């Protein structure tokens, strides 16, 4: 066979050889780390805000049902294309995502943004605190969504499953499919649940929510947050007076002014001297705390006049009563 014939035979052999699907073997650029593309786990972690008390939050949030999720995209790599380290390559078989350092920094920035957003929401909630707000003020606050009454009924059933020892202090739903629950433990003196209590309630409630999602009684992208009432929880009048009678409290009240003047609003950090359920009024004295001692002079205890000061308020004149933690 001459040289020309050999060349034609080799060319024909190349045409008969099936092409190699290089997309199944994507190149990994140097310095790029690979992570499996898996569904986001349900994460339980402590809130970074100590003033909230013990707070365990479930950040798991499903974005849509399986039928609504798009199929994984297949990355097509050119045979001789230079790999760009800023690209994200998804392989169809292994469902593997490759992140560059720049992308990881963006993800870390997103986490910081979420933490900052949560802190801003908490500060706004504390600034607008009122009794029955569904947050730090306790009570129930529903967003008016089609599913929130069902979610509340499930939470009440979960609470009953703990023999009434774990009760809801506050329940709140939001328009972005978030449920926030604050629970208290009745068997403890001040109603503070432990981390184990919060985790047990969270898991039981999450399990019931998953069942309701499958039955389409609630949407399938519910996010759940469970926490304690907080260190400076609202004191419900008169129900909580006996429980917290030994604790200093911040009290905002309306006092009757002179006959020709309108009622005046006052506040202070007091201790409960006594209360009368028949007459429906409380008697307060100044609490021995830092903010009151400062009025007597730096480093000095409460004066005799401060110790003997008394204030009597009817129950209905109390605008807000909450625990005071800075002693």
128-166 residue pLDDT tens: 677 888 888 899 999 999 999 999 999 999 999 999 899
Cβ-count burial of 203 within 10 angstroms (0-12 exposed, 13-18 middle, 19+ buried)?
middle
Give me the chain's average pLDDT, please.
74
Q: At residue 10, does pLDDT exceed 80?
A: no
Burial class (CB in 10 A: 0-12, 13-18, 19+), 173: buried
Q: What is the pLDDT of residue 131?
A: 81
pLDDT for 299: 78
For the CA atoms of 109, 110, 116, 121, the dihedral, rounded to the nearest 10 degrees, stands at 170
Distance CA 175, CA 142 (A): 9
Question: What pLDDT score was predicted for residue 65?
Answer: 42
CA–CA separation, 151 and 223 (whole Å): 12
CA-CA distance, 83 to 304, in Å (whole number)? 80
pLDDT score, position 315: 96
Q: For residue 167, what are the β-bridge partners?
A: 184
Grade residue 287 by pLDDT with cuts at 50, 70 and 90: very high
Please report which residue ranges of the chain form alpha helices under DSSP H: 3-16, 101-127, 148-160, 195-214, 290-296, 304-308
If one compares 321 and 64, the residue with the highest pLDDT of the two is: 321
In this prediction, residue 41 carries a pLDDT of 44
In the chain, count of helices (H) and strands (E)? 6, 13
- The arithmetic mean of pLDDT across residues 252-272, rounded, is 83
Tell me the pTM.
0.62
Q: Is the pLDDT of residue 267 over 90?
A: yes
- Summarize the confidence of residues 33-62 as an average pLDDT: 46
- Residue 33, pLDDT score: 44
**Which pLDDT score, from 0 to 100, does residue 162 have?**
94
What is the model's pLDDT at position 313?
95
* Mean pLDDT across 220-246: 92
Whose CA is closest to 172, among 127, 239, 229? 229
Cis amide leading into 238 (omega within 30): yes
Residue 129 has a pLDDT of 75
pLDDT given at position 116: 54
Nearest to 137 by CA among 319, 325, 327: 319
What is the pLDDT at residue 31? Answer: 42
Please give the angle made by the CA atoms of 244, 266 and 253, to the nearest 5 degrees: 50
């Amino acid at each position: 066979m001459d040289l020309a014939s050999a060349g034609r035979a080799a060319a024909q052999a190349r045409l008969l050889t099936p092409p190699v699907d290089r997309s199944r073997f994507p190149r990994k650029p140097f310095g790029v780390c690979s992570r499996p593309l898996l569904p986001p786990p349900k994460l339980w972690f402590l809130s970074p805000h100590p003033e909230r008390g013990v707070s365990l939050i479930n950040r798991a949030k499903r974005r849509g049902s399986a039928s609504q999720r798009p199929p994984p995209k297949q990355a097509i790599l050119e045979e001789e294309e230079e790999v760009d380290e800023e690209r994200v390559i998804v392989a169809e078989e292994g469902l593997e995502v490759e992140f560059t350092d720049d992308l990881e920094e963006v993800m870390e920035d997103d986490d910081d943004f979420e933490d900052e957003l949560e802190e801003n929401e908490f500060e706004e909630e504390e600034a607008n605190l009122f009794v029955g707000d569904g947050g730090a003020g306790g009570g129930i606050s529903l967003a008016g969504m089609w599913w929130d009454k069902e979610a509340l009924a499930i939470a009440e059933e979960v609470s009953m499953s703990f023999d009434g020892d774990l009760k809801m202090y506050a329940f709140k739903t939001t328009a972005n499919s978030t449920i926030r629950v604050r629970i208290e433990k009745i068997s403890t003196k001040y109603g503070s649940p432990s981390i184990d209590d919060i985790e047990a309630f969270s898991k039981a409630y999450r399990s019931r929510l998953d069942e309701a999602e499958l039955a389409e009684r609630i949407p399938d992208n519910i996010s759940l947050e469970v926490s304690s009432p907080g260190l400076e929880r609202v004191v419900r009048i008169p129900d909580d007076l006996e429980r917290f009678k030994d604790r200093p409290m911040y009290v905002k009240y309306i006092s009757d002014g002179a006959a020709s003047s309108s009622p005046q609003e006052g506040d202070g950090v007091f201790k409960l001297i006594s209360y009368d359920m028949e007459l429906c009024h409380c008697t307060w004295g100044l609490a021995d705390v830092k903010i009151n001692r400062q009025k007597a002079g730096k480093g000095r205890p409460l004066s005799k006049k401060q110790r003997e000061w008394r204030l009597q308020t009817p129950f209905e004149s109390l605008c807000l009563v909450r625990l005071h933690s800075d002693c």
